[in-house]
Each structure stands twice: as structure tokens, then as C-alpha cells.
Chain A
Amino acid sequence: MNFKYLKLTFVFVSIVIFTLLALPEFNIKVNGTEIDYKAVDFGTVGIDAKFSSFEKSSDLFPSTRIRVEANFDTEMSQEEKENALEKMMQVYIDRIDYKARFDDIKIQTLSSEEFNGFVFVVPERYEFPEETVEWITGKGEINFTGSILNASLDDSEITNSYFDDEIGVEVSQNAYDYARFPTLVYEFKDKEDDIATIANGGYAGIDLTVDGRDFEFVAHETKDNAIRIQAIFDGEESQITNELYIDYLKIVESYLEDDVLEYSVNIINVSSEAPLYNPEGASFIGITFILGLVVVAFAILIKKGSSAFVTYVLSSTSLILLTIVIAKMFKIDLSVTAILTFVMIFVLTTVFIIEAINNINKDNINKILRNLLNLSIVSLFISYFIITFLISQDSRVASVDTMFRTIFTFNLATIILVNLNLKFILQLYTAKRENSFLLIKRRK
């Protein structure tokens, strides 16, 4: 049975799907008709990834520069102020690094006789940069009181507290809120009776404030003697997204790790920070990269003929597009490190593809693909190990994180394609070359 057309259809259909997923959001006008390409969203099937645009890093795209001033006592000496700033900086870094969610926010201490404070450079991906900085720099004062009929819950009785990002478990009459946002969970030892009282509808009120923000009780769990609470956002903040809410709760959770800060800060200036490199650079690199591919493709066309040209174009296109799709899924920042890493692995893989094109023998092609697969699997495991066990422990190295996430992404794309598109394309190419070879022989 000849699967030639089936394979060819599969390759083209997959390239079309990858293109749709890889395309950024855009809006163009053609002859008065407006074409608005929206992001492909798989939220309905439970995949939390919007296939719109890359997350933009601060080295290639403008960021928000927020300057905050520390409220020190006037009688403090400059040396004392600098020591206090150092301590505050360490706490902020701990909060930023906590669970490695904000590691792309840069922080710098600024001190002089006239000004003592910090500068936060927040990348474009943060929808609420000022709020995020306010949360990070919060004093971390958590006041907890709970009234349960004739008893009370006190924060000194909290034995365990954690952040639960699971959403949608309906356990109480407040199911709507609970389903909408994740929760902070507080467990109480030796409070079985009190939690049971809450379970029977006997709670009078739980009052928890974090730096002045009210939290509300949403659910209880008698099994773990725990209560679940959520923050209340008013005004503009009520438009908060689920993702941002998770960010906030992670910062609040990090408050539990350190002592309450002695000094508060005020935002005194918000401005735009120009990127480290030329902002037009990303587009230029993109165009140069495509031109480079075209040059290589034409070189192959001249040297090896049209079937080798088509093989190269289809293989490279599949690889680039699927890598972009997976990179968006894993929320990799579009940064210089990501570009450099992508270039390195892509060039390496291109050499593999060209070597495969040079080998007409079917067995050789299988060997080359097997080698590519083995190397990709090894690289995937190394990068996964580094991302999971090293970088998550210490996230001050955002560039390394991006580097190994890119390696992971590319290798994942390669592993998928070696068994599908690359295999089919090279099989079709081999069949075509062998047929033409036999044809020449017969003619002779």
C-alpha cells in the first residue's frame, strides 16, 4: 500500500496548523477589508496557553522603570540607611525569586544623601507593573483573627499555610469565588472542633488583612482542619486576571518566609526604560534569519536539485514553526539568550538535515535520524534536569533558565518531528531519488 500521498498530506496539514499556532496577533487592511487575526486559545480544553505573541523580555523591548523611595527615620545616618536598604533588598529578592515566578524583574538599590530607595525594571508582560511592585515591596504584615461562635482562631495557632493554585473544586456555597481564583490555605492544629463548627455554618467572621488588604473566607476543610481564604480586589483591580491573582498570592505566600519589613516604600516615579539592545533588533534578526534560510535553500536547489530543495524547506519550516508553538506554550521570553540558543541548535539541526539530504541511502537516512533523535533525547533530559532541579531553586539566573527552556523546547520539537514530519519528508525524498536513479538506469 502506498502511503505517499497520505504522508504528503500529513506534512502539509501539520505545517498549516503549526503556522496558525505560531502566528502572532495581527491586524491588516487589504482593499478596505480588515483582517484581524486573534490568538488561538486552548483554554476550553484545559491548556493554559494563548498562542498569540511571545512574552517580551526587557533586553529587547521597553520596560516600565519604577523608582521607589524608602521611608526612613530622619535621624538615621546614611550608613544605617544603606544597611537597611541591603536588608530590604534581600527580602525583595527572596520574594521575587519565590517559586521563580518574577525572576525577570530587575531590581537595583539606589542610595545617596538625597535619595534612598530602589529601582524596579518590570518587563512588558506584567499587566499591572505598579501593583506588582507594591506587592513585592509590601511590609508583609499579616493580621489574622477568626471568630467561631464562642471560640476564635488566632494566627499563633496556624500550623501550616500554603498556596493552592487548584481552581474549580466546589466545596462550599461560595463556590463561584473559589472556582474563579486559587486560595491561600491555613491549617490549624488542635482546632478540630472549631473547624467542625465552621462546617456546621457556625462561623461568625474571619478577618485577615495583608498590608491592609482584606481577605475573605471562602471554604473550610474539616479533613485537614483548614480554611481557605481569598483576597478581595476593589475598583480597577477587580479586573485582575487569574494569572495575576496567582502572582499576588505567591507574593503573599512569600511574606510568610521572612520577618515583617521595618520600613515601607513609596512609588515616586514611573517611566519607560529603553531596552538594552536596539528595539528594532528582533524584527531585523527575524528577516535576516529568513533570508539566511532562503540562501541555504537556493544553494541546495542549485547543488542538489528541486526535490532536495523541497525536502530542506519543508523540514526547516516544520522545525521552526513547531519550536515557536512549543516556546509559546512554555512561555519563553523573546530575549537575546533565547535567540542565540535557538540559532545554535537550529544550525546544528540544519547540518543534520543537510547530511541526510546528501545521503541517498535509506539506511543512512534512518541512522542520521536515529542519531538526531538520540542526541535530542539526551539534550532534553539534561535541560529538563537543569530547569527543574537547579534553576527553580535559585532563579536569579533568568538567562540560563531561558537558555535551557529554549534547548528543551527545540529538542521536544525535534523529537516529535523526527518521528513524523522529518521522517515522512526524508522517506518521500529517498523514494523520489531512488525512483529517478532507477529511471536513469533503465533509460541507459
Chain B
Amino acid sequence: MDKSIKTLLRYEWTSFVRNKFQLFMLAVIMLFGVYAIYSGQSEINAQRKTIQAVTQIEQEEFSQYQASFDEELRSLEEEELHDIASRPSFAWFRHGYHAIIPPHDYAALAIGQRDLFRYYYRLTGMSLHYQLFENELANPVNLMVGNFDLSFVLVYLFPLLIIAFCYGLYSSEKENGTLALLQIQAVSIRRIILVRLVFYFAIITSLAMLISWLGLITSGPPFKTENLVPAMAWTAGVLAYFSFWFALMFLIASLRKSSSFNAITAIACWLLFLIVIPAILNVVVTTKYPLSSTALAGLTRRTGLEDENDEAEVREVIMEYLAHKPQLAGSDSLINDNMMAKGYAAFTSLKDINSQKLVDQYNEQVANRTSWTSRYHWLSPAVNMQEVLAQIAETDLHTFLRFQDALADFHGDITDFYFSRLFWNRPILLEDYHNRPVFQMTETSNRWSSVGLGLGKILLAAALTFFLGFYLFMIDV
């Protein structure tokens, strides 16, 4: 490091520690950061508790069923329970399985859409669409205002801090009358500004890193394999996003206007990236791809067969279903046994099959929306950053859409398990309980590539902004 830079840094440090207001601002944002971590963690912990509770309910339910096998059945209730446990004609719609998407350790830092979507479902063999659309209880006001999590502090508040520190990057010298003194030095003014920029970058980014790592460490061990890459990506994201804002402040300073002008312009940019652009994109996408859930609502109606006593009708329904599922078909005499239960099972499954197209259309429109908006993410590094953080913490829309797909598969496993026994008139045995369907969700491969792409866009914006500022500083006014 050459000597002039050392001197410059020393003076920056002196003026930094003397400015009580700046120190105060750093302390305030530190407090907000800690509060955000706490608030995010308490939200996610509440979700963890709910998950624990529902898992326990499921375990109790099934251990009751299993216990009913080896007990001497005495009371009527015990016999009823054993029927539910062993007879597929009861079991297929009584046995409840929970499909859960447990929060990633870092979901507490970027809650994303996790408060809006359901993260657990209880599924039985009944029509999937009966069970899919119920919401979690939530105060709509809270949903509207959104979460005070660490991603909010990083995406919204830190840029404001950067603006507050850097709006006088050049203009303060001019306004204090020290500019002329600097200009007669051997060091170029651009260099002085750059050193100052780097100095503030170091200070503010270190603070952000401190808060981020505080959050990362308290939310989950960062050196665990599944946390390491997210923790690194988080760090890289913060660096990229802050680079952009510092580059922007450098560009604004390069215009060599007054402090007030700089502050107004910087705030206007903040407003543009954090409020105006996303708000416009949201309202455009809502009107461009209109969606009405009213069509899906109809699927939740619990209709039954027209006349349950009409054997011909019941048989017809079963045959129609078996045409879709030939592997369940057996001889005619198999159908006659327990026909009502089969008829009802066939009926609700047919409903799913017939309404699948409607659901697919709806999901396709949602996909249209997200692919349209993601095309415009580059317009706002803030939107980009928010999305990247949500992706890192697995709280983005895409994760929940994958969850929906996994739910459908899981529901298929459940119906296969029970229907193969129901339609073949086989009881559920105690050992079958070891082969019960288990919910699984596969990891996607493209998660990190889209995180990388998002980061790339932010970095590119930062680089372009910086070089534009560098160029403007070169031109002598």
C-alpha cells in the first residue's frame, strides 16, 4: 500500500470516529439487525413447533392402529379402531399422512413466502383437491406488511445507510471549502474519492457481515454440509448487492453536484428499485396474466354418488376408474365385495383425474407470471437480491410449487397403498405398517444455477454502474 493511501485512510478513520451521528446510525442498524434475526427465528420456531405437533399427532394415530392388532379386543371402540386399522374400506379415507416441508435452517433469515403458503398438509386417500386449498391461519394485515427479517434489513435498510454515508462523497469537500486544498495535492481527486468509497465499503460491509454471520450461526451451524453452500451464497449475495449500491453512490458523486442533489437522487433511486419498479411489475403481471381461483374453488365441493343404493351406477363408476387404473382391476366377484367403499374411492379419484386439467391450467398461468416477472428482475437489483436470498433459504415460490408437485406424488403413493388392498379385497396387515408411504421431496438441480444467475445480474449492474462513474470522473469539468 503506498503511503498516500495510508494517510488518506488514517484521516478517513479519524473523521469517521469523530462523527457521532454516523456511529449512532451504525448502532441503530445493528439493533435492527439483531431484532430481525430474533423476529425471523421466532416465526420459524413457531412453524417448527407446529410441525412437531402434527408429526406427533400422526405418530399417535398410527401407533394406535398398530396397537389394535395385538390387543385382545374387548370394547366396541377397540373393535372399531381395529377395523379402521385393518380394513382398507375404512382406512383409505381415515388414515392421515402429513406431508411437511421443514424449514431450511436459514429460512429464519429470509422468510420469503413461507408465512403465506402452507408448509404441512394432512392427506388421506380422498380426492387430493379436497385437501389442497385450505390456508394456514394468518392475520392478513401481517401478511401485507411482511416480515421484519434479516433479508429486509439487508435489502431495504442497508442501502439507506450506504446513502447516508456516501451522499457527500465529493460534494462535502466542495461545500466545506476543502476541495481546492485537495486538488493541489499530488494525489488525484478520483483516487481520494475511491479510497473513501472503499473505506466506507469496508466499514458497512463488515457490519453487514457481522450481523449476517450472527444470524447464520444462531440459525444453524454454517459448516454443516447442507448449510455451507447457502452460507457462502448469502455472503456473496451481500457483497454483490452492497457493491451495487456503493457503485451507484460513486456514479452519483461523479456528477459533481451538491449534497442535496446527491441525497435526493440517491433516495429517488432507492425508491425506484425498492418500491416503484416492483410495484409496477406486480400490477402489470396481475393484469397481464389475470388469474381467478374461482374455477378451482368448485373442486373442493364434496359431492357423492347420485344414488348410493343404485348398484348399477356404483358399478359403472368403478369400471370407469378401473379403466384408468387397469392394475387394480380383478375379477367381477372382487368388485361385488365391499362395493360401496370401492364406488366412493373410485368416485373421488375420478374427480381428481377429471379436474387435473383445470388445476394444470391454473398452475401454468402462475408459471407464466413468474417467468414473466423473472425476465424483468434485472431492472431492480433489490428485487433480484430478495429473490436470491429467498432461494438460498428455500422460501421462494418455486420451492412451494415443487412441494405441491411432491404432494401430488405422495397422494398417488397413498392411494396406491390403500387401493391395491381395497380393490383386491386384502386386509391391511401389521407388517404393512412398515411399508407405509413416506413423503419425499427431491432436491432440484437448478436452484444454485438460478442463485448464481441472480448474483451475476447484480454484479454486472454493479460493474456497469461503477465504470460509468469512473469514466465520468475522468472527464474534466
| Physical interaction between A and B | no
Binding site for B on A (CB under 8 A): none
Binding site for A on B (CB under 8 A): none
